[in-house]
């Protein structure tokens, strides 16, 4: 399974028992930005039977900067009609304090999540108004992490661009009755 990442807004709040990081890691039925030839939306049922027993809250998806974890009960996840929210009780470490200072200033305010789509867990369609391909994720096999991030994961490095190309390759190999992908992407222009 391919590990993917998406980004949303996050905030730090004071609570009775100290500072916590709150955020919405996933929004349902809302389209993403262009992810390299397609946009994406997450179906509200995508997390039904999703593996979420050991999910970490990280900074910039770095496994070395752990802010919380579901198995230690320092990270809680809750599903609403609008999306998947989280609350993290960060440790009293230098990196957590530094992150809180950056969040207080408004320098860092985004959230991302890493996940794997189950085989056959996405449907494709074509937006008639814009002509862009739309991927609807209907089944997520596993949630790896929710992360506080400095910028959207899908605009940073070539590895993310390759991930977008792999996702587009998935689309062209599946026939959902909408015909073949009408717009080809010049992978060479993406550095692949």
Burial class (CB in 10 A: 0-12, 13-18, 19+), 94: exposed
User: What are the sequence ranges of the domains in the chain?
Assistant: 3-179
Residue 106 pLDDT: 79
Say which range, 3-12, 94-103, 120-129, 141-150, has the weakest mean pLDDT.
Answer: 3-12
Which tens digit of pLDDT belongs to each residue from 29-77? 888 878 888 888 899 999 999 999 999 999 988 999 999 999 999 999 9
DSSP structure class, residue 166: H
Residue 185: is its pLDDT beyond 50?
Answer: no
Token representation of residue 115? 């996940």
CB 65 within 8 A of CB 57: no
Residue 65 corresponds to which tokens in the numbers above? 């900067």
Write down the mean pLDDT value for the chain: 76
DSSP state letter for 17: T
Read off the pLDDT band of 181 (50, 70, 90).
very low
The confidence score (pLDDT) of residue 157 equals: 20
Paired strand residues for 72: none
Strand locations in 61-174, DSSP E?
Answer: 62-69, 75-79, 83-88, 110-117, 122-126, 133-137, 140-149
In the chain, pLDDT over 90 holds for what percent of residues?
Answer: 36
DSSP three-state, residue 167: helix
pLDDT of residue 100: 83
Query: Binning pLDDT at 50, 70 and 90, where does residue 9 land?
Result: low
Rounded to an integer, what is the distance from CA 182 to the centroid of its chain? Answer: 27
Q: How confident is the model at residue 112 (pLDDT cuts 50, 70, 90)?
A: confident
CB atoms near residue 150 (< 10 Å): 15
| Closest CA relative to residue 103, chosen from 169, 11, 8 | 11
Q: Report pLDDT digits (tens) over 147-173.
A: 888 764 322 221 222 345 555 666 665
- What pLDDT score was predicted for residue 99? 87
Give Cα 149 distance to the centre of its chain. Answer: 11
Residue in the structure block whose two tokens are 């449907």: 123
DSSP-derived pairing of the beta strands 56-59 and 140-149 = parallel
What are the tokens at 5?
A: 């990442």
């Amino acid at each position: 399974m391919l590990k993917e990442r998406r980004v949303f807004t996050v905030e730090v709040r004071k609570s009775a028992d100290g500072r916590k990081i709150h955020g919405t890691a996933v929004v349902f039925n809302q389209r993403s930005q262009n992810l390299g030839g397609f946009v994406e939306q997450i179906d509200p049922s995508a997390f039904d039977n999703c593996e979420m027993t050991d999910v970490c809250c990280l900074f910039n998806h770095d496994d070395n900067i752990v802010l919380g974890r579901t198995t230690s009960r320092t990270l809680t996840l809750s599903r609403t009609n609008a999306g998947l929210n989280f609350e993290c009780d960060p440790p009293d470490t230098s990196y957590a304090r530094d992150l809180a200072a950056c969040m207080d200033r408004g320098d860092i305010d985004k959230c991302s999540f890493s996940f794997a789509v189950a085989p056959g867990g996405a449907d494709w369609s074509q937006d008639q108004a814009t002509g862009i391909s739309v991927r609807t994720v209907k089944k997520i096999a596993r949630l790896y992490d929710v992360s506080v991030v400095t910028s959207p994961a899908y605009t940073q490095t070539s590895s993310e661009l390759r991930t977008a190309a792999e996702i587009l390759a998935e689309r062209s190999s599946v026939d959902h009755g909408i015909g073949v992908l009408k717009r080809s992407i010049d992978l060479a222009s993406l550095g692949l």
